[in-house]
Chain A
């Protein structure tokens, strides 16, 4: 079934929606869901993979249950991003086993060229999260590692290797 395209909201309109939703206006909650759901789906997909839909649902439940705690509407997307990454990692860890990053195929391995999504499956949820924060959100490893409570050095070195492998295949 076709859905209408996303509306464009100016910052002051977003602030008004947040305020109305915090006051108990469920129509405003619906409008905020329209605004936030595509963003949450993009964050949860590559981190939670097969559990992406559950992760997106859990993220949005936490977001709207906690909306009263959001004091600055201009911080909305950063706040949602932190919740989405945390919930996506948590959902992925709860539901499925994963291989360690050290088990990634070496660059040039024909398996890499077969299915990049399969390579994502071989990363731990935390490393997928670092990759998403870095590549889709432009957040450096240090901030990402803080957000995810993992060591910066380890994240940096392993991520670097993973990115080299990905880049080689994706750009070939």
Chain B
């Protein structure tokens, strides 16, 4: 019977990010569907140096990315206008990005949805800052909404 091709369950990057969000205390996830095709959305989302500071958080001044061994592993160094610095371990693949610093966690996932794009965005605190999560939830929600709106705007601007 094993020679039969058994059905294999589908599993896309959005579901993968939902798993991380559901099993990682201190994180929240937001999903949206953008009209632009997947390639156009991911071209902006995956540009960590050029685009991410423009749409993610207003405080990010620069983001510098260097390879870290394996092909999908990177190190990103963020510098804020306020002077804050953070070093992130990054996994970046088509449709998938996970970023982790000592105190912060970020993730992005994207899949095609009938020619449009389902995009998910995860953010959260790590370590002792995790205790801030409940109090910061309303702020995080507003920041997340703004970030997704800015990302959609950047996708539209690049398409012009």
- A residues near B, CB below 8 A? 1-4, 24-27, 29-30, 33, 37, 40-42, 44-46, 48-49, 52-53, 55-57, 60-61, 63-65, 67, 116-117, 120, 131-132, 135-136, 163, 166-167, 170-171
A131 to B3, CA, bound (A): 14
* 6 A-B residue pairings within 8 Å (CB atoms): A3-B93, A30-B98, A42-B8, A57-B19, A132-B6, A136-B6
Query: B1-43: which have CB < 8 Å to A?
Result: 1-4, 6-12, 15-16, 18-20, 22-24, 38, 42
Asked if A57 and B11 make an inter-chain contact with CB atoms under 8 angstroms apart, the answer reads: yes
Q: Is the CB of B19 within 8 A of A45?
A: no
Give, as a whole number of angstroms, the nearest-CB distance from A139 to chain B: 13
Further pairs besides A63-B23, A65-B22, A65-B23: 14, Cβ < 8 Å: A1-B42, A24-B127, A26-B100, A26-B105, A41-B8, A52-B7, A56-B11, A56-B15, A57-B11, A61-B19, A64-B19, A64-B22, A64-B24, A170-B3
Contact of B9 among A4, A55, A65, A136 (CB under 8 A): A55
- A52's closest neighbor in chain B, by CB? B9
B94 CB within 8 Å of chain A? yes
Q: State whether A27 and B9 are in contact (beta carbons under 8 Å apart), knowing that A61-B22, A170-B4 are contacts in the complex.
A: no
- B64-97 contacts to A, CB under 8 A, are 71-72, 89, 91, 93-95
Question: Chain A contacts of B24 at CB under 8 A?
Answer: 26, 29, 64
Q: CB-nearest residue of chain A relative to B90?
A: A27
Q: CB-CB < 8 A to A120: which residues of B?
A: 7
Interface hub of B4, B19, B93, B100 (most chain A Cβ within 10 A): B19
Contact A27 B16 (CB under 8 A): no
Known pairs A27-B89, A29-B24; A42 contacts B4 (CB<8 A):
no
Residues on B with C-beta less than 8 A from A37 are 11, 16
Nearest-CB distance from A62 to chain B (Å)?
Answer: 9
Q: Which residue of B lies closest to A170 (CB)?
A: B4
Q: Which of A4, A44, A132, A166 is B71 in contact with, Cβ under 8 Å? A: A4
Q: Shortest CB–CB separation between residue A52 and chain B, in angstroms?
A: 3
Query: Is the CB of B118 closer than 8 A to any CB of chain A?
Result: no
Q: Which of A42, A60, A63, A171 contacts B6 (CB 8 A)?
A: A42
Query: A3 to B16, Cβ gap below 8 A?
Result: no
What is the CB-to-nearest-CB distance from A135 to chain B, in angstroms, rounded to a whole number?
5
| A95 vs B132: C-alpha distance when bound (angstroms) | 37
CA–CA, A65 and B23, complex, Å: 5
Whether A135 pairs with B1 at a CB distance below 8 angstroms is yes
**Residues in chain A near residue B72, CB distance under 8 A:** 4
Q: Tell me whether A4 and B15 are in contact (CB under 8 A).
A: no
